[in-house]
Amino acid sequence: MKSWIASANDPVSHFPVQNLPYGVARKAGQAARCVAAIGDKVVDLAALEDAGLLHTGAQVFATGSLNGFMALGRQVWDRVRGDLTDLLVEGGNPALRNTPALRQKALLDAGQVEMLMPVKVTEYTDFYAGMQHAKNMGEILRGSPDLPENWLHIPIGYNGRASSVVVSGTAIRRPWGQVRGAGGPVFQPTERLDIELELGAIIGQPSALGAPVSVAQAEDMIFGYVLLNDWSARDIQGWEYQPLGPFQGKAFGTSISPWVVTSAALDAFRTAAPPRETPLLPYLDPQKPGLYDITLTVSMQPEGADRPTTVTRTNYARMYYSAAQQLCHHSIGGCPMNVGDLLGSGTISGPERGEFGSLMELSWAGRDPFTLATGQTRSFIEDGDTLTLSGYAEGNGYRIGFGECSGKILPAIAQPDWTK
């Protein structure tokens, strides 16, 4: 398919007419609105809704989050996607293309708007579902790549903080915390600040308390996906994580991309999980391939550097458990899921060093620093560094892209005065 919006037909554009991801944007002096991306434009969905061109059965787009739209369910998601495609595809419904006043109101240059959080995140759960990452971390921390006994049987996860999930472009301040010292714990800013390259699943439909969902039902509950960087303070995490897992080492910030790529747009890129080393229990068996062939990259740019360096290139298909399996397992004891819940895939790493999804792995916990294109070396993130995630699925002459998820690290605040 081609669009009458020329920029959408560029084969390296992340936002062709086959994609149409959703987000929330604000034009200067105006309220936030739900939007879609097409080429170098954003489409004001509320304007199309007011014109009677999007059929939701409710007014849901003149708002600051996608939650109201997601709550309407998959039939409405599919109908609106069809409406949008028809309005933007070459030779489709001319109501937008041939109406100058509506076009001026509804079709904006991407540079005209500020992208905001796309959803109101109700709860956030992060998983540990990449086999290579789990083996690498075992080797680094315990001297053995052997997986925990339960790892091949369940998607391991922990409940994180929704309050610190932020949109791409939000600066992250280096956190303070307790770290292990020679004679006991020391309170200081983290010295081992890291990233985790992940894909986040956005839950668009709820489940009830006490009602587990199957993998097939979970597939139908997932509205779409975002790039996700789960910032990590490895020295804080290393002191606190036993026996209950991550806490302050993770709670200070998680960045997501502003665009939510729908599961419908990714459906053509489904791919099977790696071969199972041991059979899963029946409730986790998928009915169809649950992963996607999505190329993912991480770049790093020190403050003042004239260009970024790509430090990682990997693929979401490296995961061992899909988002639907994670969602199924999350609910299996009766935990209710909400519209707007966010599930992090876990760090995505491949078998080669250039495919590792964290700096902890890339520098092997600082023992083997890597060199950037500018000549600088890194083991972990330094103040002023900007980390950027990007990703896309490659079709025949088009890409289903996520745009970017970026964040700059600011110095830690001055040490608080605890006497006040």
**Catalytic residue annotation:** 133
Read off the tokens for 254: 């998680």
Closest by Cα among 260, 264, 198, 196 to 232: 196
CB hemisphere CA count around 3 (13 angstroms)? 26
Instruction: Report the chain's terminal Cα–Cα distance, integer Å.
Output: 63
The shares of helix, strand and coil residues in the chain, as percent rounded to the nearest 5, are 25, 30, 45
Helices (H), 34-153: 45-50, 67-70, 74-88, 100-106, 131-142
Could you tell me if 334 and 213 are in contact, meaning their C-beta atoms sit under 8 angstroms apart? no
Place of tokens 């600082």: 366
Distance of CA 121 to the CA centre of its chain: 12
Collapse the DSSP code of 406 into the 3-class scheme (helix H, G, I; strand E, B; otherwise coil) and give the result: strand
Task: Please state, in angstroms and rounded to a whole number, the distance separating the CA atoms of residues 221 and 219.
Answer: 5
Read off the tokens for 194: 């890291």
Helices and strands in the chain, H and E counts: 11, 26
Residue 181, number of CB atoms within 10 A of its CB: 11
How far is the CA of 194 from the CAs of 61, 167, 301, 380, 385, in angstroms? 36, 18, 14, 6, 11
DSSP for 279-313 reads PPPGGG--SS--EE--EEEEEEE-TT-SS-EEEEE
